[in-house]
Chain A
Amino acid sequence: MELDEMKRAWAHMDLRQDGMEALLRQGFRDRRMDKARGAMRWSLLGQAVEIACWVAFVVFVASFWVVHRQVTHLLLVGLLLHAYGIAGIWSGATQLFLLSRIYLFDAPVLVLQRRLAQLRRFRMVSTLALGLPWWFLWLLVPLVVLTWWSGVDLFAGAPGWIWACMAVGVAGTGFSLWLARRLAGRAMWSPWLQRVVDDMSGRTLARVSRQLDEIARFERD
Chain B
Amino acid sequence: MIVGQHQRHFVALLREHRGIVFKVAGLYSRSVADREDLVQEIGTQLWRSFGRYDAARGKFSTWMYRIALNVAISQARRWREADRLEPLEMHHLETVGGGESIREQDERLAALHAFIGQLDALNRALILLYLEDRSYAEMAEILGISETNVATKLGRIKQKLRGQMAGAATTGA
**Contact (A14, B39) CB under 8 Å given A106-B49, A109-B122, A110-B143:** no
Q: Is the CB of A24 within 8 A of B14?
A: yes
Select which of A1, A11, A106, A215 is within 8 A of B63 by beta carbon: A106
**Contact (A112, B109) CB under 8 Å given A14-B100, A219-B149:** no
Select which of A12, A15, A112 is within 8 A of B70 by beta carbon: A112
Q: Is the CB of B48 within 8 A of A33?
A: yes
Contacting residues of chain A (1-39) with chain B, CB-CB under 8 angstroms? 1-3, 5-17, 19-21, 23-24, 26-28, 32-33, 36-37
- The A interface, classified by DSSP as helix, strand, loop or mixed, is helix
Query: B46-80: contact bitstring with A at CB < 8 Å (1 yes, 0 no)?
Result: 01110011000000000100110111011001000
Cβ-based interface call for B172 (8 A): no
Q: Is the CB of B130 within 8 A of A7?
A: yes
- The B interface, classified by DSSP as helix, strand, loop or mixed, is helix
Q: Is the CB of B144 within 8 A of A105?
A: no
CA distance A146 to B70 in the complex (A): 50
Query: B68-111: contact bitstring with A at CB < 8 Å (1 yes, 0 no)?
Result: 01110110010001000000000000001111100001101101
Contacts between chains A and B (CB distance < 8 A), count: 156
CB distance from A202 to the nearest CB of B (A): 14
CB distance from B46 to the nearest CB of A (A): 9
CB distance from A196 to the nearest CB of B (A): 15
Q: Which B residues lie within 8 Å of A105 (CB)?
A: 45, 48-49, 66-67, 70-71
Q: Which B residues lie within 8 Å of A221 (CB)?
A: 152-153
CB distance from B61 to the nearest CB of A (A): 13
CA distance A108 to B139 in the complex (A): 10
Q: Is the CB of A36 within 8 A of B44?
A: yes
Q: Is the CB of A7 within 8 A of B131?
A: yes
Q: Which B residues lie within 8 Å of A32 (CB)?
A: 40, 44
Q: Is the CB of A113 within 8 A of B67?
A: no
Q: Which B residues lie within 8 Å of A40 (CB)?
A: 48
Cβ-based interface call for A107 (8 A): yes
Q: Is the CB of A108 within 8 A of B141?
A: yes
Q: Is the CB of A37 within 8 A of B48?
A: yes
**Contact (A9, B108) CB under 8 Å given A36-B48, A106-B67:** yes
Q: Is the CB of A108 within 8 A of B144?
A: yes
Q: Which B residues lie within 8 Å of A108 (CB)?
A: 66, 141-144
CA distance A12 to B106 in the complex (A): 9
Cβ-based interface call for B22 (8 A): yes
Q: Is the CB of A20 within 8 A of B70?
A: no
Q: Which B residues lie within 8 Å of A13 (CB)?
A: 96-97, 105-106, 109
14 cross-chain CB contacts under 8 A: A7-B133, A9-B108, A14-B98, A16-B98, A16-B99, A19-B36, A20-B39, A33-B48, A106-B70, A107-B144, A109-B142, A109-B144, A113-B122, A218-B123
Supplied contacts A110-B122, A218-B153, 15 more A-B pairs, CB within 8 Å: A1-B161, A1-B165, A2-B162, A3-B130, A10-B112, A10-B132, A15-B26, A19-B36, A21-B15, A24-B21, A28-B7, A37-B47, A103-B48, A106-B63, A207-B81
